[in-house]
Structure 1
Amino acid sequence: MKSIFLALALVSLGAHAAEDTGTSPCDAVENDQQTLECATYSKNTAEQLLKENFDALLDRVKTQYANDKAQLADITGKLQTAQQLWTKSRDADCAIAPLPAKPGSKAFTIDQYDCIASKSDERSEFLESIAQE
């Protein structure tokens, strides 16, 4: 049952991520190898979007605080620290989320990548909401 839910979640994530390219390895997932390829694609796509949204946030802050270098440095430092701590927390959570699947197995990797993609998508949305004028 968990595999079916996971496959549906990955297909959904992959379809969302593939809107720009038109195709994705998440199209017509039929076996474990394809599910792993979809999970990898979804994780990589979500992490790229996360990086882009963090960079966009830094750009917004630079624009908003361009006239106050001290405050800009303080806020930028806080954002970078928060992002680093969040990444460590995400990775720690996603290292245990796949249990009881055996580390190194396809099932473990699929569950771990799904966790990373999901948490990264949530964080991306949060970052997009900060420092909006």
Structure 2
Amino acid sequence: MKSLAWLVLLAAVSGAQAGEEESTPCDNVETDQQAYACAAFNKHTAERELKASYEDLLQRIRDQYADDNAQASALTARMSTAEQLWRQLRDADCTVETYAEKAGSNAFQAAWDTCVAQHSDDRSEYLQSIGQQ
């Protein structure tokens, strides 16, 4: 039941973030199944935004170091390494956060999706802040 309360709270926050966008699975979450669908939707959305933030950052690096390909390549390689390490840390953190749920259960998957979504949102904000002028 603790997980359901957390998921309902997440759905409420997600609904507020959606703003004026189209309807999402996070609208009017009342059942466990709806909460699970909302968590999956949030994970997918957060990962899509993370990918876009990362690609935008790489473009900022190319633009900022347009006259120095070696420096652009070096920084891009460092970002790639950092991104791989961050994903390992995110997965390790989510393994800790989902420990109380039975692996393979819907509650576990929803908790995992929620964790990945939150960490991905945080990472997106960080990536967006790098190289801003």
Answer whether TM exceeds 0.5 for this pair. yes
Equivalent pairs, count: 132
Give how far 1:10 is off. Answer: 3.1
Q: Is the 8 A contact 1:26 1:38 kept in 2?
A: yes
What is aligned with 1:72? 72
Q: Distance in 2 between matches of 1:40 and 1:5?
A: 14
CA contact (8 A) 2:40 2:113 kept: yes
Structure 2 residue aligned with 1:11: 12
Asked whether the equivalents of residues 11 and 29 of structure 2 are also in contact (C-alpha less than 8 Å), the reply is: no
CA RMSD of aligned residues (A): 1.5
Name the amino acid aligned to 1:4.
Answer: A
Task: Quote the Cα distance in structure 1 between the aligned partners of 2:20 and 2:91.
Answer: 27
Per the alignment, residue 102 of structure 2 pairs with 102
**TM-score if structure 2 supplies the norm length?**
0.92
In structure 2, distance between residues paired with 1:47 and 1:70: 29
Aligned residue number for residue 48 of structure 1:
48
Q: Which moved more, 1:18-27 or 1:113-122?
A: 18-27
Does residue 1:117 correspond to 2:117, yes or no? yes
Letter in structure 2 aligned against 1:98: T
**In 1, distance between residues paired with 2:120 and 2:86?**
10
Judging changes above 3 Å, is the alpha-carbon distance between structure 1 residues 37 and 95 closer, same or farther for their aligned structure 2 residues? Answer: same
Q: CA deviation at 1:4?
A: 1.2
Q: Per-residue CA shift, 1:4-50, capped at 9, x if unaligned?
A: 1332123312542x346421000011111110100000000000000
Equivalent residue runs for 1:87-98 within 5 Å: 87-98=87-98
Q: Which runs of 5+ in 2 are unaligned?
A: none
One-letter amino acid of the counterpart of residue 88, structure 1: Q
Q: How many Å separate the matches in 1 of 2:88 and 2:19?
A: 29
Q: TM-score scaled to structure 1, two decimals?
A: 0.92
In the TM superposition, structure 1's runs of 4+ consecutive aligned residues that sit over 6 Å from their partners are none
How has the CA–CA distance of structure 1 residues 56 and 20 changed in structure 2, closer, same or farther, with 3 Å as cutoff?
Answer: farther
